[in-house]
Amino acid sequence: MRRKLIVGNWKMHGSQQQVRQLLQDMESKAGELSEDVEIGVCPTYVHIADLVAARSSDRIMLGAQNVHAEPEGAFTGEVSAPMLADYGLHFVIVGHSERREIFGESDQLISEKFIAVQKSKMVPILCVGETLLQREAGETEEVVLRQLDVVIDAAGIEAFADSVLAYEPVWAIGTGKTASPEQAQQVHKVLREHLAKQSPDIAGAVRILYGGSVKSANSDELFAQADIDGGLVGGASLQAEEFISICKSAD
């Protein structure tokens, strides 16, 4: 039985005061949820240390939105996995489509980041997803499996025992357009079946989150799908009440 997991990706939002308040509000509402659902949020790098110090429990796990693949060195402006692990972070998002598209990250670089996160004993949340053009060209499965295969080839199937996958169709991110529960389920099933070819056990245990305009109005239906194990939530995770409502759909 896979425990549901809901992760908020705060992206580049919030002042120090706002993110403190947001986490505090989420913590006070998290008591309404059972332990059956795991929850986490990923603030910007600059807010991590402050939130680690300010939080009142680890009920809401903390993660990062990105990482550099090397453990240290002359990489001006970058942050390494050991530095993040030092703050007790639970997970790190790798391969988000905004990193792939805006910052030009390659499948190869993403696989190196995935490995770096695991080396530092944190859990990578590996994002895959197709653009609208790719979906319209009927290439969705080919694209997400290619993105997944590069990481399987580099890290090995066993690495997926300690990782989370997220299917985020690029056309659904920040657009208000959600994949229908059936569309999302279809891709989640393809991803799981693909992993199962190499390890049925790992495929059965790995959590696959859906991301792309998740909100409380659509989360019930999405999380009811057999292969959707929770959500990676952008905009709707910036409001405590809305985020906790989404978490309740998974409870």
Give the binding site for ligand 13P (CB under 6 A).
9, 96, 168, 173-174, 211-214, 232-236
CB 92 within 8 A of CB 66: yes
Q: How many CB atoms lie within 10 A of CB 4?
A: 19
Task: Pull the structure tokens for residue 195.
Answer: 């992993």
Q: Strands, E, within the chain: which ranges?
A: 4-9, 37-42, 60-64, 91-94, 123-128, 164-167, 207-211, 230-233
96 is catalytic: yes
Q: Which of 212, 230 has the CB closer to ligand 13P?
A: 212
Residues 6+ apart with CB under 8 A from 15: none
Query: To the nearest 10°, the Cα dihedral for 167, 170, 176, 180?
Result: -50
Q: Which residues contact 143 (CB under 8 A, 6 or more apart)?
A: 128, 129, 130, 134
The phi and psi torsions of 104 (rounded to 5 degrees) equal 65, 30
Query: CA–CA separation, 226 vs 81, rounded Å?
Result: 33
Min dist CB 111 to ligand 13P, Å, is 19
Which of 38, 98, 112, 168 does the annotation list as catalytic? 168
13 catalytic residue (yes or no): no
Q: Least distance to ligand 13P from the beta carbon of 236, Å?
A: 6
Nearer to ligand 13P, 202 or 206 (CB): 206
Residue with smaller CB distance to ligand 13P, 101 or 153: 101
Q: Which residue is at the shortest CB distance from ligand 13P?
A: 234
Tell me the closest approach of the beta carbon of residue 152 to ligand 13P, in angstroms. 22
Token pair in block for residue 15: 């002042």
Q: Specify the residue, 124 or 211, whose C-beta has the smaller distance to ligand 13P.
A: 211
In the complex, what is the shortest distance from the CB of residue 128 to ligand 13P, in angstroms, rounded to a whole number?
12
Whichever of 62 and 173 has its CB closer to ligand 13P, that residue is: 173
Q: Exposed, middle or buried by CB within 10 Å (0-12, 13-18, 19+), for 197? A: exposed
Catalytic residue among 68, 96, 98, 188: 96
Please give the positions annotated as active site: 96, 168
